[in-house]
Structure 1
């Protein structure tokens, strides 16, 4: 699985003008299941992301996790993280998991974060979404479970 994590002051997602999820301080996680991914990859990213120390402590150092700050997480599916841009000018997305599998892993990922007592808001899998965010820092981090 691939994830793009952004430390945010606030973030929201809407579909057809209706807000489906919103958070205050915390993380916006754009997530993509790849071909061959399973719950093991989602579990790995949940562990890493929930403990990722990218929030400032009292000394101004990035030393606190989203759990430490009692923050929230907005999880948004984004198959375009699977983009292959090596050839031509039109990205290919064949490395992404098929939609049915991707949806299951997306839901599993968000559910596992929620089991850690993190407030989790969600986008709408497969929908044309509008995402608003106020990136804090800015801090943006890329993770791929294949890199472990």
Structure 2
């Protein structure tokens, strides 16, 4: 991790990995939904699902590695400090309406149409997890001071 010269570099990298993780979950689950639909979307669905899962897994591993590095090198606790608690609260407040909308619309669509519940589930997972991760990255940027705690 020689590229990280300050705590702020670690925080920026963690935010980037969180954003990439959110986008990857959306692509992964969207691809899974395409494969369930079948037909012309099958090949694109497998491709998107594979790429999304791969990016998600790599960014998750890098995220954990960078969090451990930041804690050991800079004594920076990006998961347990007061700012992190505020970030989790904001992300929850942003994600809750998405969760409710996905439940209501998903339940209605599956009851009133012939659309598979599994397709709706994949789309809902993409929306909820993607919103939570992208919201957490944006909230962290808004709440955490520019000069990270040293």
TM-score range, shorter chain: under 0.3
**CA radius of gyration, larger in:** 2
Structure with more strand by fraction = 1
Structure with more helix by fraction = 2
